[in-house]
Chains A and B, each alone.
Chain A
């Protein structure tokens, strides 16, 4: 049976158009924050979760925070970013602070709000606020410990050679330490390491 050539081309064109449209449809889906997602070797929110979980576990189960029930006061002085990516490390410290507060092992001084607190205090004491509702001065709590850290990375790329893919490795390490403000002794220190390998095609469409 002869199939007309014209019909063949029409069927192929229709099928091709259907596949093309299907491939080009935009889709969205809800993603669980716990689900590890990586498109390349660089830092992602999955890394932040692992870092926070491991360090909070270590902080809350080892001295000095893991020891007693006195809930010492801590101030966060931030994690220095020494990688070659723009990483907002305040996200890491905010998450660590939240988890420790929820664990009940320590209390935190709100360093970022100091200016606003000073503004509000000034307003209360010099403004139209009823005296019986004004806060008392010089009642802020001093921190006993300081939380600081450094995020570092080492990157390695596969050497230039005949290949179809470009491989790279990135090693991250976050060192965190708790320092006594009174004695300047480092009372606790720990680190988390991550290594990721990524490969990218050299040729594409």
Chain B
């Protein structure tokens, strides 16, 4: 018994459609965190996957790395995110076989390489993890790698303020004041309002022996020792709020059954949160730099938009040629092929789901003392949450770090790990 060629074509395409779908374990793990607020269970689910996830391996490492971070397992998170970083280097080429398959089927046939902003977040979370485990030198290495991503995609990442502030901080922690000054100056140019970091820029500039420094209005005529490490300590907060946007398909259908599809971001959490630090009834001033992940994600996707649309047009044209060839033999098979081609014309909507919607970096100079502090987060809808920090003591010149995540009903506060007595 022989089958018409069209039938074979449709069968193969349907098999590829099934093959091209998102890994189900990844979905299950995401739901465990996003809906149930349980990063530990999410990690367990992903650990059953082993080192798999096929063409979405990078996404697997990213998600697992962040879930481990949320669970306070910073060393394991570092391992996973470094796997992601290494994979990004390996993937830095164009695969002919994958591109050919993607022209005939869809972009799910290619390895996921991450949006430009996602590549930056990998290094960003590595910086945070290394700071939380006292590996300041390694944090600086990640800062330099993050800076390379900025330099590679400057247009896409102009609003990634949080990461740039963190890069400057990593230089500052290692007493590389001149480099920190250069980064803060670059950040000042990026920010719509550079006043939050003016003091930092001034401080780093004066420590580097630079004369021509910005004139911060707040400091006119006053000596500001807020960031004088020899007088005060400092509280550093990494605050993640809400849920990052996800990619959804956008479609344009034209007669006689031509489907153009493209990915776009859909916001899941609103922006415009305000964070204040309270000690009893008093607010403590802080320097805060925040990134709206939605805006940066959209910017990254927009930077690739031209290439996405050109490829989409090429794919539609290639599919039309196949459909016409099949129709020449068998009209019914031709229509079945067209239906199958439309069904597989799915845009690549893979993205990093467990990221927060907003990332904020807060620096709070504190006099040496013991502190009971509350972090108050107020949204645009006037709903506010109070997150109580663990009691901590700050000495002169000391920095204390906390990572906070508040997304839906999930709230976690992770402190810097106890300094292990190192052998060096």
Contacts and interface: CB of A to CB of B under 8 A. Distances in A.
A47 B138 CA distance: 20
B311 to A, nearest CB: 16
A112 B93 contact: no
A112 B424 contact: yes
A39 to B, nearest CB: 11
A204 B144 CA distance: 28
B177 to A, nearest CB: 14
Contacts, number: 39
Contacts of A78: 424
Contact of B93 (A80, A83, A202): A202
A204 B141 contact: no
B93 A81 contact: no
Contacts of B253: none
Given A84-B148, A112-B424, A115-B421, A205 B95 contact: yes
Interface in A81-129: 81-86, 90, 111-113, 115
Interface residues of B, number: 17
Contacts of A202: 93-94
A202 B148 CA distance: 19
A113 B138 CA distance: 23
B182 to A, nearest CB: 15
A113 B422 CA distance: 10
Contacts of A113: 423
A81 B176 CA distance: 13
Interface string B131-150: 00000011011001100100
Interface of B: 82, 92-97, 137-138, 140-141, 144-145, 148, 421, 423-424
29 contacts: A78-B424, A80-B137, A81-B137, A81-B141, A83-B141, A83-B144, A84-B141, A84-B144, A84-B148, A90-B424, A111-B424, A112-B423, A112-B424, A113-B423, A115-B421, A115-B423, A155-B148, A200-B93, A201-B93, A202-B93, A202-B94, A203-B94, A203-B96, A204-B93, A204-B94, A204-B95, A204-B96, A205-B95, A205-B96
Interface of A: 78, 80-86, 90, 111-113, 115, 155, 166, 200-205
